[in-house]
Structure 1
Amino acid sequence: MFVLGLDVGKSELYARLLQIPEPGKFVPLGTGKSVSNTAKGHEQLLAWLRKSGAGGEGTSVVMESTSVYWERVAMTLYEAGCRISVVNAAQIKFFAKSTLRRGKTDKLDADLIGRFGAVMHPARWMPPEADLVELRALLHARDNIVELSTVEAGRHHAMDHRYQPSSKALGFCEARQALLAQQLVEVNDKVNALVLTSVRLQTDVTLLRSIPGIGSLTAALLLVETMHLSEMESSNQWAAYAGLSPVPRQSGNFTGRTHISKIGNARLRRAFYLCALTASRMKNGFGNFYRHLTSQGKPKKVALIALARKLLRVAFAVLKSGQKFNPDYRRPSPMAA
């Protein structure tokens, strides 16, 4: 059994190989390996692993989710039969603190990541399906288009209100706005077409749309931002991933204010918050839940966060059960069971 710690950079990979002779013990092998983060470098890394007697299912590769630069090497090693784990960089940071690690270099980081894998046994990563990857890319591109459109609208407003506005500059700005509007229509069409061509995507979007406050685009966003969370068994895990889990502050006689962690996927958290804004205005169970909280003296934002977490839990249940949202459903009493 081997554990490979991989420190991923934009242009280079630093690897550290550990052998696990028995549970709870590990032995560093050699001095590590540095290769370029390219297809050629990935092949060199595989050749080095084989030369060291590692590789295949008996080798667990642990790396941080460094932007997008980990994806290609993860796929290469996965296709070579290795067991891949992609972990949050915060986990490695706090693990380093627990070992009183002081120095920081790429080689030290690779060694630290390998030791983390040998001690903590992180969850296995599986590559997402191709249609989800494509849908995620399209939705991220849509977010960029919307953001740029907002920027250009602000620029146009500012230029139009100058004492002596330039018609030429305004023309350039309007041309950019027209291009962005055209691209927004195109990306919306692409997203809808992709959902319609995939039976599984269409089924999951239909399930999520049955929940009040969640529309087609939001449903697609929820699917792509949670595409690697299918193995989770509890909605609390989803809430933690979205940064919507509560963080209590209490020590001795001191009790501070509880707030959400905000450690997690900001896109997912924002999506559920916006869904909560919509659902809070409705005359149904979700709207009544929000109004009940505010009537009890809860601040509006606190009530919205609570509603966002409730919507997340309902979305998790709907996808796990494969059944549309039923407002009349009541969880069976433990006494009745």
Structure 2
Amino acid sequence: MTRFMGLDLHKNYIHGYVFQPGQKGTHFRFLNTPDEWARFVATQLTPETAVAIEATGNAFTIYDRLVDYVRQVVVIHPAGLKGLGGGRHTDRIDAERLAQLMALGTYTSVQVWVPPAEVRAIRALITQVRACQQQETAWRNRARNLLIRTGYAVPRTVALREWFAAQGAELDETLQIVFTSALTMAEQAQQEGDRLRGEILRRLAGYPEMAWLWSVPGLGAWTAAVVWAWLGDPQRFRSARQVGRYAGLDPSVHQSGEADWRGHISHQGPAILRQVLVEAAWWAIRAKDTPLRTFYARVVPRLGKRRAIVAVARKLLLAAWRVWHEQRLAHEVDRRRYQKKLSAIRAILRTVPSYPLTDRWQILTGAEGSAPDRAATEARGQPVLST
């Protein structure tokens, strides 16, 4: 007989509830440590157990730990869980609700898709790139603010390194030190981000779907990597509307009676996907004689620049989903431009080294020899860049 279990995940402990139909359920709690997890797997889990866990920071790691030992593991969206129970939420209540959702089979509407390990790995690397970009921006802004406070308002169009080379001698020694430190930190963050970005492109080069994504006009190698990571599997979306809603690029709507109000985009879903698509949209409308530029020119008088560029970003995403879903090149692709894009990407990939993990490992740990085996990430083979 199936046992239904709900696990309420926390940083330091796990609270669980398990029951079988017709029997009284029991609560339990254990520490969130490797030893306690091993004991829990050995003593509490059976092949007939169905487990529900809430989507938190470590939910996918817990999913990996459990999936080989039980009948089923389901990850539940927190918003779906909090919509139950009229505001009463404790560890005990949440664990019971998770188990009950499994028993009743009503979890499908709030179930979270669990990405494969390779998708999660690329997501983690992209998130780290974004963190490097944020740090670079923060340090460059700090350097500019230092100059502003001393009477030097350097325009944004002027590179700080060039300005410092031309006029840095006018600053006193202390300000030179602080400014040099800030600029060095910014450049180190930029270099680290470039190394990680190269590692991502190198890993994804062996996936055939990347060639389809690259065929979409306006979708560069980096944007395609972000789309690949967060869409994950195009078959999990039944329509283009679902894709736009997942990315938070769908307009918010309030309709009740005679009132019908449509506002800003919903901003639900992964923010990094929206940010990268909007950045790509600004680049896409600069190209001459492209469908996206034509679309932007048509809607900008009615929507304004900001809303029009979001509409372009949504079109980019939907075009990427369609070519990936249908496993084809974009219908509107210009073969000559596409071949030039492939040549440029191929040139980049020839010069992209692996992330210097071995060197960093030795520096940080002081250990001799190489870092953990990279064979799994090297097994993808040569880039697939043909049409």
TM range (shorter): 0.7 to 0.9
In the alignment of these two chains, the number of paired residues is 307
Runs ≥4 residues deviating over 4 A: 123-127
Q: 1:60 to 1:226 in 2, by over 3 A?
A: farther
Partner of residue 193, structure 1 = 202
Is residue 2:296 matched to residue 1:293? no
Is residue 2:70 matched to residue 1:84? no
Segments of structure 2 that go 5 or more residues without pairing to the other structure are 151-171, 334-387
> How big is the shift at 1:108?
1.7
Q: 1:248 to 1:182 in 2, by over 3 A?
A: closer
Partner of residue 8, structure 2 = 7
8 Å contact from structure 1 (residues 250, 256) kept in 2: yes
> How big is the shift at 1:70?
1.8
Q: 1:237 to 1:256 in 2, by over 3 A?
A: closer
1:240-279 aligned at under 5 Å gives the runs: 240-279=245-284
Q: Name the SS for the 1:10 alignment partner.
A: coil
2:26 counterpart letter in structure 1: T
8 Å contact from structure 2 (residues 5, 49) kept in 1: yes
Q: 1:108 to 1:188 in 2, by over 3 A?
A: same
In structure 2, C-alpha distance between the alignment counterparts of 1:29 and 1:226, rounded to whole Å:
41
RMSD of Structure 2 on Structure 1 (CA): 2.5
1:305 counterpart letter in structure 2: V
8 Å contact from structure 1 (residues 207, 323) kept in 2: yes
8 Å contact from structure 2 (residues 139, 182) kept in 1: yes
> How big is the shift at 1:35?
1.4
Partner of residue 143, structure 1 = 130
Q: 1:240 to 1:212 in 2, by over 3 A?
A: same
Partner of residue 153, structure 1 = 140
1:244 counterpart letter in structure 2: L
8 Å contact from structure 1 (residues 280, 290) kept in 2: yes
Q: Name the SS for the 1:4 alignment partner.
A: strand
> How big is the shift at 1:121?
2.9
Partner of residue 24, structure 1 = none
In structure 1, C-alpha distance between the alignment counterparts of 2:227 and 2:294, rounded to whole Å:
24
1:196-207 aligned at under 5 Å gives the runs: 196=205, 199-200=206-207, 203-207=208-212
Is residue 2:38 matched to residue 1:75? no
Q: Name the SS for the 1:75 alignment partner.
A: helix
Q: 1:300 to 1:174 in 2, by over 3 A?
A: closer
1:188 counterpart letter in structure 2: R
20, 38, 44: which is aligned to 1:43?
38
TM-score by length of structure 1 reads: 0.82
8 Å contact from structure 1 (residues 75, 127) kept in 2: no
Partner of residue 111, structure 1 = 96
> How big is the shift at 1:246?
3.1
8 Å contact from structure 2 (residues 300, 308) kept in 1: yes
Identity %: 25
> How big is the shift at 1:253?
1.8
8 Å contact from structure 1 (residues 14, 34) kept in 2: yes
Q: 1:47 to 1:127 in 2, by over 3 A?
A: farther
Q: 1:118 to 1:311 in 2, by over 3 A?
A: farther
Partner of residue 182, structure 2 = 173
1:92-131 aligned at under 5 Å gives the runs: 92-94=81-83, 96=84, 99-100=85-86, 102-119=87-104, 120-122=106-108, 123=111, 125-126=113-114, 128-130=116-118
8 Å contact from structure 2 (residues 14, 29) kept in 1: yes
Is residue 2:44 matched to residue 1:61? no
